[in-house]
């Protein structure tokens, strides 16, 4: 199982790096939802997905991310607790990383 957490800022629009294929500017939350749907469709129950607004109380559940969040551009994508991508949501790049992690979990 790969745990995917995307940290974003509420209704901010992600003008760079959105690679969801729709051609429209989405809020980070909307772009993360499109990413979630695509990853669940591709990987099913091999992934869990969560979106966290960095301005919500929910961010307090992630003390390690709070310590480093200012080093990255939002949205920040964390895979299995490790910051992996920032500044955009690329389905292609995130899918490749998830597939690699799933492959490394196989016996």
Convert the pLDDT of each residue in 56-96 to its tens digit.
999 999 999 999 999 999 999 999 999 999 999 999 999 99
67 domain residue, yes or no: no
Residue 64 lies in a domain: no
Domain count for the chain, please give it: 1
Contacts by 33-42, CB closer than 8 A, 24 or more apart: 35/6, 35/89, 35/91, 35/94, 36/4, 38/91, 38/95, 39/4, 39/91, 39/94, 39/95, 39/98, 42/95
pLDDT value, residue 10:
72
Which residue range(s) make up the domain with 41?
2-51+80-105
The string of pLDDT tens digits covering residues 24-60 is 557 899 999 999 999 999 999 999 999 999 999 999 9
pLDDT score at 79: 98
Domain annotation covers residue 61? no
Instruction: State the pLDDT at residue 25.
Output: 58
Residue 69 lies in a domain: no
- 36 domain residue, yes or no: yes
């Amino acid at each position: 199982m790969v745990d995917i957490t995307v940290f974003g800022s509420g209704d901010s629009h992600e003008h760079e790096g959105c690679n969801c294929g729709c051609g429209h500017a989405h809020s980070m939350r909307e772009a993360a939802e499109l990413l979630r749907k695509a990853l669940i469709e591709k990987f099913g129950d091999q992934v869990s997905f969560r979106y966290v607004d960095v301005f919500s109380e929910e961010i307090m559940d992630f003390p390690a991310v709070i310590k480093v969040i200012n080093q990255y551009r939002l949205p920040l994508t964390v895979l299995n607790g490790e910051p992996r991508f920032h500044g955009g949501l690329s389905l292609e790049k995130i899918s490749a990383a998830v597939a690699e992690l799933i492959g490394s979990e196989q016996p």
